[in-house]
Amino acid sequence: MAINVGDSVPSVKLKTITEEGMSDISSEELFGGKKVVLFALPGAFTPTCSAKHLPGFVQKAGDLKGKGVDAIACLSVNDAFVMNAWGKDQNVGDAVMMLADGNADFTKAMGLEMDGTGFGMGTRSQRYAMVVDNGTVTALNVEEPGAFEVSSAEAMLEAV
């Protein structure tokens, strides 16, 4: 069952790359006491994700933070090294935190996984974006398969 507005984000550890190397970040640490926009996508370096989804959030990061968002996070079912390399490739800097859900633990706990085996991708995340306020989902925009409309940075500016 997919998570809904009003639900608490599941307790899961994700991975990220810091100056010290790969490290864990718990969902409690990520979302506790903060307003966070998290967007998830099927894969790093994939066409829509690289051409539209991630760049839109990098470009609109200042606008989102101006509306009270403490952090913006990008999540994909990739490893932390791939997410870090993609962030560098996309010139993300400090605008967006790049999070790896390599085993799809968070994605499955959210109930938002998709079967990408037909594309040789295995289990991946559906494309979505959400606003989480102190661990509670206050907005959730899940895309229809193949679409990119409701999870854009512009759509999340309206949701915050």
Active site residues: 49
Could you tell me if residue 2 is inside a domain? no
Question: The whole model's pTM is what?
Answer: 0.94
Query: What CATH number is attached to the domain comprising 69?
Result: 3.40.30.10
**Is the C-alpha dihedral spanning 52, 54, 59, 65 positive or negative?**
positive
Could you tell me if residue 147 is inside a domain? yes
Could you tell me if residue 53 is inside a domain? yes
Give the span between the Cα atoms of 126 and 70, in whole angstroms.
24
117-142 pLDDT, tens digit per residue, is 888 787 889 999 999 999 999 999 99
Could you tell me if residue 8 is inside a domain? no
What's the number of domains the chain is made of?
A: 1
143-160 pLDDT, tens digit per residue, is 998 899 999 999 999 999
Could you tell me if residue 146 is inside a domain? yes
Give the span between the Cα atoms of 37 and 69, in whole angstroms.
7
Give the span between the Cα atoms of 102 and 124, in whole angstroms.
9
Could you tell me if residue 6 is inside a domain? no
Could you tell me if residue 25 is inside a domain? yes
54-89 pLDDT, tens digit per residue, is 999 999 999 999 999 999 999 999 999 999 999 999
Could you tell me if residue 78 is inside a domain? yes
- The predicted pLDDT at position 86 comes to 96
- The predicted pLDDT at position 118 comes to 82
Q: Give me the domain span that covers residue 117.
A: 13-159
